């Protein structure tokens, strides 16, 4: 196949696919249902705060190789920031206890032998038991694999699992947590340094991607919502978009479908894909004074899970937030601000300007049952390929998984095109 490649969806997975295809010299067209690119990974100016904020908070680790490969491709290697060494600061909202997890430099985790570097109250045997994640079968949950008892589970594994898998540990697939650990913490301190976008997700990923596409004379066609495919038994022959816009495909054209799993099912109901989803709620609050360096803090024992502070905006994330997402935004903001004020020493400060962002279908439900429904890149139509954090990347639904899926779709398509 040497025809045009139609990438449907301009989120991270679609942009990743388009970038790698263009770097390979292929002709690409990109379509996006919304009026902007980025999907869940973008920035926008919020009038309540008078600041540029990200629609969701995303923690990146220095061992996320797909992230760094993609940033190298679009020229944004210097747009992440974070501490010089891997340090994960936590606070227990119930009693105010604080601790910092400091992984060691080598692949062998000698650091767990030192009490001052591990989770308070945890025992050496607790860390050894965590190796069970490596052998978790497809039906095991995180809590079923690790056990729900003990300080290490409560103060490290559970918050890590909930944030990485956006699913409560009682139902989250254990098989997805081990790749996170193995590719970052398992490679030593240099691979697990926490990182956030220096100026925002759009500055780091989206705008440079669009600029890269534009330099290759490729522009995203916005407002193009895919309704369905037209196909024969063995090929996609046309794309039907909203507004009765139809694009007929040439014989050698191919399609990469890089939309959320719900939209993919609507366009191709014959496709196997995860069906359930989980919510994420983010809160952004304007501080009276800016910090001189970004701060990342894990929070346990309360409503909020992670606090990100950049300049004079404090943002908190609550994952697996289906219940919280039903509440009134002001009620959510008040609860969040009480916890932010507690951990930042701002007790008594009035509720400042804020923005609550509810993503009710933020990711697919990463339970064993839904993980088993993740499709691969190829489909029953030889010229249709899939990308997205809901496909079978072997990783949770994260930025790393999204970027990896886009590249895999591009590389699979290219390999198909060159095969005899």
pLDDT at 124: 81
- The pLDDT of 124-148, averaged and rounded, is 87
Reported as a pLDDT band with limits 50, 70 and 90, residue 121 is confident
- The pLDDT of 95-108, averaged and rounded, is 84
Q: Given phi > 0 = left and psi -120 to 50 = alpha, else beta, which region is 9?
A: left
Reported as a pLDDT band with limits 50, 70 and 90, residue 418 is low
pLDDT at 407: 98
Q: How many CB atoms lie within 10 A of CB 42?
A: 21
CA dihedral 250, 256, 258, 264 (to 10 degrees): 70
pLDDT at 102: 86
Given a cut of 80, is residue 388 above it in pLDDT? yes
- The pLDDT of 162-179, averaged and rounded, is 94
Rounded percentage of the chain residues whose pLDDT exceeds 70: 98
393 vs 417: CA distance, rounded Å: 22
pLDDT at 113: 74
**Pairing label, strands 277-286, 354-364:** antiparallel
pLDDT at 417: 67
- The pLDDT of 96-121, averaged and rounded, is 80
Give the chain's length: 420
Reported as a pLDDT band with limits 50, 70 and 90, residue 285 is very high
State which of 83-97, 169-183, 375-389 shows the largest mean pLDDT.
Answer: 375-389
pLDDT at 110: 67
Which one is predicted more confidently, 111 or 204? Answer: 204
Decide: 267 and 228 in contact? Cβ < 8 Å: yes
Reported as a pLDDT band with limits 50, 70 and 90, residue 245 is very high
Which one is predicted more confidently, 146 or 254? Answer: 254
| Mean of the per-residue pLDDT values of the chain | 93
Decide: 101 and 92 in contact? Cβ < 8 Å: no
Q: What are phi and psi of 394, to 5 degrees?
A: 80, 0
Q: Which helix (H) or strand (E) holds 231?
A: strand 226-231
Which one is predicted more confidently, 180 or 264? Answer: 264
pLDDT at 185: 83
Given a cut of 60, is residue 4 above it in pLDDT? yes
Given a cut of 90, is residue 117 above it in pLDDT? no
**In b/e form, how buried is each residue of 44-80, taking b as 16+ CB within 10 angstroms?**
eebeebebebbbbbbbbbbbbebbbebbebbebeebb
Chain segment 313-345, per-residue pLDDT in tens: 999 999 999 999 999 999 999 999 999 999 999
Return the CA Rg of the chain.
Answer: 22
Q: What is the DSSP string of 330-394?
A: HHHHHHHHHHHHHHHT-TTPPP-SEEEEEEEEEEE--SHHHHTT---SB-SSTTEEE-STTSS-S
Chain segment 10-64, per-residue pLDDT in tens: 999 999 999 999 999 999 999 999 999 999 999 999 999 999 999 988 989 999 9
Reported as a pLDDT band with limits 50, 70 and 90, residue 369 is very high
pLDDT at 108: 65
Which one is predicted more confidently, 74 or 114? Answer: 74
Which one is predicted more confidently, 207 or 149? Answer: 207
133 vs 141: CA distance, rounded Å: 10
**Pairing label, strands 5-8, 254-257:** parallel
How far from chain centre, in Å, is Cα 392? Answer: 14
Structure tokens at 258: 């890089």
The residues facing 386 across adjacent strands are 257
Nearest to 405 by CA among 2, 17, 11, 10: 17
Reported as a pLDDT band with limits 50, 70 and 90, residue 8 is very high
By three-state DSSP, how is residue 235 classified? coil
Domains defined along the chain, listed by start: 5-42+201-275+367-418 (3.50.50.60), 47-64+72-82+278-364 (no CATH), 108-192 (no CATH)
Given a cut of 60, is residue 1 above it in pLDDT? no
139 vs 171: CA distance, rounded Å: 10
By three-state DSSP, how is residue 95 classified? coil
280 vs 92: CA distance, rounded Å: 21
pLDDT at 420: 53
- The pLDDT of 244-251, averaged and rounded, is 94
Q: Give 163's contacts (C-beta < 8 A, 6+ positions apart).
A: 59, 305, 306, 317, 319
pLDDT at 419: 57
43 vs 176: CA distance, rounded Å: 28
Nearest to 108 by CA among 134, 128, 137: 128
pTM score of the predicted model = 0.94
- The pLDDT of 288-299, averaged and rounded, is 90
């Amino acid at each position: 196949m040497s025809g045009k490649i139609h990438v449907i969806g301009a989120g991270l997975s679609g942009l990743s696919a388009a970038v790698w295809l263009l770097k390979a010299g292929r002709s690409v067209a990109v379509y996006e249902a919304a009026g902007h690119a980025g999907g869940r990974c973008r920035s926008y100016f919020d009038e309540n705060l008078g600041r540029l904020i990200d629609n969701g908070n995303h923690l990146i680790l220095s061992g996320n190789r797909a992230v760094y490969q993609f940033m190298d491709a679009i020229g944004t290697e210097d747009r992440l920031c974070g501490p010089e060494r891997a340090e994960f600061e936590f606070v227990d909202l119930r009693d105010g206890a604080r601790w910092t997890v400091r992984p060691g430099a080598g692949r062998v985790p000698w650091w767990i032998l030192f009490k001052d570097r591990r989770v308070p109250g945890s025992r050496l045997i607790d860390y050894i038991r965590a190796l069970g994640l490596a052998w978790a079968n497809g039906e095991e949950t995180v809590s079923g694999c690790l056990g729900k008892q003990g300080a290490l589970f409560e103060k490290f594994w559970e918050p890590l699992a909930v944030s990485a898998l956006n699913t409560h540990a009682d139902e989250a697939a254990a098989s997805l947590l081990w790749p996170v650990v193995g590719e970052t913490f398992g490679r030593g301190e240099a691979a697990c340094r926490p990182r956030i976008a220096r100026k925002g997700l759009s500055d780091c990923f989206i705008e440079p991607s669009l600029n890269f596409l534009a330099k290759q004379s490729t522009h995203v066609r916005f407002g193009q919502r895919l309704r369905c495919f037209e196909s024969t038994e063995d090929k996609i022959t046309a794309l039907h978009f909203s507004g009765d816009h139809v694009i007929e495909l040439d014989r050698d054209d191919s399609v990469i479908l890089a939309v959320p799993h719900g939209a993919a099912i609507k366009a191709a109901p014959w496709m196997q894909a995860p069906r359930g989803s989980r919510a994420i709620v983010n809160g952004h609050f304007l501080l009276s004074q800016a910090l001189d360096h970004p701060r990342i803090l894990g929070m346990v024992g309360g409503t909020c899970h992670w606090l990100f502070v950049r300049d004079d905006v404090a943002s908190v994330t609550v994952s697996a937030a289906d219940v919280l997402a039903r509440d009134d935004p002001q009620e959510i903001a008040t609860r969040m601000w009480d916890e932010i004020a507690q951990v930042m020493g701002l007790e008594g400060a009035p509720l400042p300007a804020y923005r609550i962002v509810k993503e009710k279908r933020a990711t697919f439900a990463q339970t064993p049952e839904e993980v088993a429904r993740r499709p691969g890149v190829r489909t029953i139509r030889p010229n249709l390929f899939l990308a997205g954090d809901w496909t079978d990347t072997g990783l949770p639904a994260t930025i790393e998984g999204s970027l990896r899926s886009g590249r895999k779709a591009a590389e699979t398509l290219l390999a198909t095109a060159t095969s005899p």
